[in-house]
Amino acid sequence: MDIEQFRKAGYQAIDRICDHFYSLRNKPVQASVEPGYLRALIPDAAPQTGEEFENIADDYQKLIVPGLTHWTHPSFFAYFPTACTFEGILGDLYSSSVANPGFNWTASPACTELEVIVLDWAAKLLGLSPAFYNASGVGGGCIQVTASDSALIATVAARSAYQRDHPDARMEDLVLYTTTQTHSLGAKAALVLGLQCKMLPVTKEDRFSLRGETLRTHLDEDIKAGKRPFLLIATVGTTSSGAIDNMPEIRQVAKEYPTLRVHVDAAWAGVVLSCPEHRETCFLDDINEFADSICVNFHKWGLVNFDASTLWVRDRKYLTEALDITPIFLRTAQSTAGTVIDYRNWHLSLGRRFRSLKFWFVLRSYGVEGFQRYIRQGIEQNQIFVKLVENSSVLELVTPPSFALSVFRIAPRPEGKPLTLEAINSLNRFFFGRISARNDIYLTQTMLNDVYCIRLAVGSMLTTAEDIQGAFDIIKKEAELALENWKI
């Protein structure tokens, strides 16, 4: 493809993307294809000679689009909807066009410098302490691929710090703490690094958040057994119910056990920190005072297209002392002089995408106020759903709503013979089976301790108040049909 052919194909691609957004509302949310559908449609080896791009672009529409689940659909309420803004798409397009692996400052000075600046913008947007700003020269932030990468890196850094301070420690004695509600990223980090992961219990009474006393009891027990607690991954906004671990209590415990580092996974809910009225609920003051690192995924609810996971650390040496390996071919005068950041020492891979561009486009285009408006809109839309559930005789909330997330189930009926928990769970499984058989709405299920429930997460750019009412109508109808048709 030459430049003029690219120009033509590029205009067509943008046209088709716009048409996609215009028609998205009328498409099914979930793809209705069978596993392996694409094998039958695409040859099993690359063509021997090149093909016309026009045909390739047409095949994208014909073969790929039908197999897409539309995460930006107005009726996508599963997992956590992903951010998709036109500014973000354009940022990725420009980024792709410069094909820049940006691993150190000289690889493209603009790439590193923009990231250094926009990460400070983002830290200010969220109200993080200046200790986390790149401008502090001590702490700092960078863009990772995902929250799982951030957790893995925080674990590598905490492990290195622990081993430096305790050279006698055996790796297999190191324990990473999460709760039963922490995203699987904690267990994954431990698995990859060959460390133990202990999932601490949480209760419904505590809204599934980690209490200081639980942490203290387990730390004492493990230390007595010769274990080496070195890291806690605490969460602000768990995946299942949006629970927020009790940071003031954890902060107190962390003071008593100074070798324990704390990483905060605020992958989903972290963006609500942009609204000052939610900072206290998220214990921002405590996080600012004691957390070693914090991760926020802007690619979930934060308007920046996937991938856009941010990681801030209180001390950048925490990362670089664990990850800096500099063979001669990576040495530069600027990094030897210590006048620049080489982000390759802040993450696992060498090369990295120019992701700061899309952050810059989005944050400039929306401004702080536009960003806050968007987050508040998601919370307000969830409140509409909450009110509808609260006024319903069929459904009930299982936990109080968390920002833009509601967790609900068919309420056990007060009349007739009382149902066991097992039976209520089975009824709700049947109910969820009915919802997930539809392709005009998409929700996901979870377990909160032993209670089976269904989650509705608001956040798509296209969702309106009417879509929330529409979703509730579908859910209520399916709940009524489930009650009519379910047999013990």
Task: Name the residues that contact ligand PLP, by CB under 6 A.
Answer: 79-80, 146-148, 183, 185, 235, 237-239, 265, 267-268, 297, 309
Q: At closest approach, how far in Å is the CB of 345 from ligand PLP?
A: 21
Is the separation of the CB atoms in 278 and 266 below 8 Å?
no
Q: Name the residue nearer to ligand PLP (CB basis): 148 or 155.
A: 148
Neighbours of 71 (CB within 10 A): 18
Q: At closest approach, how far in Å is the CB of 144 from ligand PLP?
A: 8
The sheet with strand 405-410 has its strands ordered as: 395-397, 405-410, 451-457, 444-448
Q: Name the residue nearer to ligand PLP (CB basis): 377 or 444.
A: 444
Q: Name the residue nearer to ligand PLP (CB basis): 269 or 389.
A: 269
Q: Hey, what long-range contacts does 130-136 have (CB within 8 A, 24 or more apart)?
A: 131/288, 131/314, 132/288, 132/294, 132/312, 132/313, 132/314, 134/341
CB-based contacts of 349: which residues, under 8 Å, 6+ apart? none
Nearest partner of 312 among 287, 334, 336, judged by Cα: 287
Q: At closest approach, how far in Å is the CB of 375 from ligand PLP?
A: 16
Do you know the residue count of the chain? 488
Q: At closest approach, how far in Å is the CB of 111 from ligand PLP?
A: 22
Q: Name the residue nearer to ligand PLP (CB basis): 265 or 315.
A: 265
Is the separation of the CB atoms in 273 and 301 below 8 Å?
no
Q: At closest approach, how far in Å is the CB of 240 from ligand PLP?
A: 9
Q: At closest approach, how far in Å is the CB of 27 from ligand PLP?
A: 23
Q: Name the residue nearer to ligand PLP (CB basis): 147 or 479.
A: 147
Question: Which whole-number Å values give the CA distances from 39 to 35, 42, 46, 58, in the listed order?
Answer: 9, 6, 13, 18
**What residue type is 32 in one-letter code?**
S
Q: At closest approach, how far in Å is the CB of 456 from ligand PLP?
A: 14
Cα(412)–Cα(428) distance, integer angstroms: 10
Residue number with the smallest Cβ distance to ligand PLP: 146
Q: Name the residue nearer to ligand PLP (CB basis): 395 or 448.
A: 448
Q: Name the residue nearer to ligand PLP (CB basis): 123 or 147.
A: 147
Strand partners for 110: none
Is the separation of the CB atoms in 114 and 356 below 8 Å?
yes
